[in-house]
Structure 1
Amino acid sequence: MSSAGGVQPGKLWSLFDMLRAYVSEFFFIAQLIAEMEKGGGISNPDVVKALDISSGATLEARLAPIWEKIISRDEDDSKTIVLKLPMSMPSVEAQVQRVWRAIGSFTPPMSSNQLSEILGLVTDLRNRIQDELPAHKMYYVRPELVRYYEDKDQFGNRVTERFPNSIPDIENAGKCIALGQDTASVFHLMRAMECAVGELCTSLQIPNPDREWGKLLSDLHAKIGAMPKDKKRDAWSECHANLYHVKQAWRNSTMHPISTYSPEQSKDIFQCVRTFMNQLAILI
């Protein structure tokens, strides 16, 4: 089933978006169903007008202004009805097709049996909506975590431009924090760090960047020791200290199968890796 303004997986919807996309159509469907099921007790003026066939107009023509709020014609097949809903609900759409065909098949004057048939179809439409809605799940992200999910440049433009290969892991690390997958976030951060370390080794001509981090740190320390004693050397020393801290506190622990991280820890690590990679982007 196609739908107008369909829900995009991986995209956050605000409560306003959800209400705007869902409530108006569903409210009208529910109202129309309720009013039509009342039969002789119909009170909604639009529905009364729609069912008033004394003018000689077909029921399809009389209902068209109402149904246009919730359905549209398929671009390739004018006989096919498409629900204006932002999610796939196949059985609901199939029932809408039945209701619409039934409405289109009746001509004035409409008998009580014909009205009862339509009302039976509408009742089944209501039941199908109630059956299908629970299958569509939404995940609530707390407002303070939305930026972790949506921001593209989580670590800033400098890191994005200098370490483009690390961006997917950085973005996924943020999404994991937003979705409560804190240990998974740290794994992604470590992958981003490995990308940055590779660039570091290339910049300082340290061979075999895929070696164990302890050996890389030893070579980095030697390279820094050979630098002139100035502010740049101090910056590299700070970079070395931060990388050592990553190795000891994060990387080794993360590789352990029972290691888990709390939301506070994952956010702290996220910020520390951000600081390290921004510093490294300036140095190299």
Structure 2
Amino acid sequence: MLELKLKKLLIASEMLSSANYTLERFGSGSDGFLNDDHYVESLINQVKTIRSEMDNLQMGGVSVFLALERLEGHIKVGGNQRLIVQYITEFKKILLDELSGSYVLTLSRLEQRLFTQSEPLFGKEVANNFQSLTYEIEEIGKCLALGRSTAAAFHMLRCLEAAMRAIARCLGIPDPIKGTDRNWGNALKEISTETENRWPKATRIGGDGALFERFHATLKAMANPYRNATMHLEDKYTEEEARSLLEIVRGYLRSVAARMDQDGNPKA
């Protein structure tokens, strides 16, 4: 997929169209305009800008670029203005034919911010402490920007899984070796057991005991309605549901990142 920034191409095309109009209306039978070095340079720059932007955007075939070369070459030698008008007209027709086979989607300002993410979507502390989630978090924003709500939810649940792994590591629970041990049910049981061993329920007034109890309770509450549902074909997320889940997951990751990094440090 290409990131299209069409402003330069649009401006250059408009200026070239303006030059075409000027030459058609005032240049007939005269070469006064093309004796003006500044005017010639301006026309050439517009052609170069169009070629550069079309190349960056991977737009246009061989015929488009050949038409641009003919146009630029004739301008450089101060050629006949009627021919320049003809070449500009030829280029525009060829370009329209080429673009008729293109399909372009645009993003709103809000969608563009989600797609490009100039600031970490989950905040700087999560970005620093959970660098392994950089891809997942970026994909959440991109999927939301493109209206792929269920895909965004999938990446959010992967983020929660990373948080769960960090919590287990913080408690000294070894990473699962067998694939069958990597399900949420088993991991949550181990976290619950280790939390109970370290901080019996009657003593969990505050500190890490209460914190890890909340970490576990939140993940357990999300296992069935979110994690398990997302893994099956029957369930889909609307945009509103995905954005609601985003706030939940973002808040949870921030809470975990405030206590530990992705390796569970500092240990409990």
TM-score range normalised by the length of the shorter chain? 0.7 to 0.9
Mapping 1:176-215, distance limit 5 Å: 176-209=143-176, 210-215=181-186
Whole-angstrom CA distance in 1 between matches of 2:74 and 2:253:
65
Decide which of 60, 66, 73 is 1:94's aligned counterpart. Answer: 66
CA contact (8 A) 1:158 1:278 kept: yes
Whole-angstrom CA distance in 2 between matches of 1:106 and 1:64:
8
Partner residue in 2 for 1:76: none
SS in 1 for 2:235: coil
SS in 2 for 1:71: helix
Pick 1 or 2: higher relative contact order, CA cutoff 8 A, min separation 6.
2
Deviation of 1:101 (Å): 3.6
CA contact (8 A) 2:114 2:142 kept: yes
**Deviation digits for residues 141-166 of structure 1 (CA, Å, limit 9, x no counterpart):** 23344432232411111111211101
**Deviation digits for residues 115-145 of structure 1 (CA, Å, limit 9, x no counterpart):** 4x55443331120122234455543323344
Structure 1 unmatched ranges of 5 or more: 1-7, 73-80
CA contact (8 A) 1:213 1:247 kept: yes
Whole-angstrom CA distance in 1 between matches of 2:258 and 2:217:
16
Decide which of 138, 157, 165 is 2:124's aligned counterpart. Answer: 157
Whole-angstrom CA distance in 2 between matches of 1:60 and 1:135:
38
AA in 1 matched with 2:242:
S
Q: How many residues get paired?
A: 246
Most deviating of 24-33 and 139-148: 139-148
AA in 2 matched with 1:258:
E
Matched, 1:30 2:23: no
CA contact (8 A) 1:60 1:103 kept: no
CA contact (8 A) 1:60 1:104 kept: no
Matched, 1:222 2:198: no
Partner residue in 1 for 2:254: 278
Q: 1:121 to 1:141 in 2, by over 3 A?
A: closer
Deviation of 1:262 (Å): 0.4
Whole-angstrom CA distance in 1 between matches of 2:154 and 2:205:
35
**Identity of matched residues, %:** 21
SS in 1 for 2:234: coil
**Deviation digits for residues 144-203 of structure 1 (CA, Å, limit 9, x no counterpart):** 444322324111111112111012101111111111000000111122222222222111
Whole-angstrom CA distance in 2 between matches of 1:26 and 1:66:
13
Whole-angstrom CA distance in 1 between matches of 2:141 and 2:50:
37
Decide which of 96, 100, 123 is 2:89's aligned counterpart. Answer: 123
Whole-angstrom CA distance in 2 between matches of 1:170 and 1:156:
10
Matched, 1:139 2:105: yes
Deviation of 1:93 (Å): 2.4
**Deviation digits for residues 51-104 of structure 1 (CA, Å, limit 9, x no counterpart):** 623x7x9779696244134134xxxxxxxx973545443433210212344456
Whole-angstrom CA distance in 2 between matches of 1:121 and 1:161:
55
| RMSD (Å), alpha carbons | 3.2
Partner residue in 2 for 1:268: 244
Decide which of 30, 39, 50 is 1:52's aligned counterpart. Answer: 30
CA contact (8 A) 1:59 1:103 kept: no
Whole-angstrom CA distance in 2 between matches of 1:99 and 1:148:
40
AA in 1 matched with 2:95:
I
Deviation of 1:208 (Å): 4.2
Normalized per residue, the structure richer in helix is 2
SS in 1 for 2:258: helix
- TM score, norm. by length of structure 2: 0.77
AA in 2 matched with 1:124:
E
Matched, 1:242 2:242: no
Decide which of 119, 126, 141 is 1:174's aligned counterpart. Answer: 141
Q: 1:10 to 1:242 in 2, by over 3 A?
A: farther
Matched, 1:83 2:55: no
AA in 2 matched with 1:129:
L
AA in 1 matched with 2:206:
K
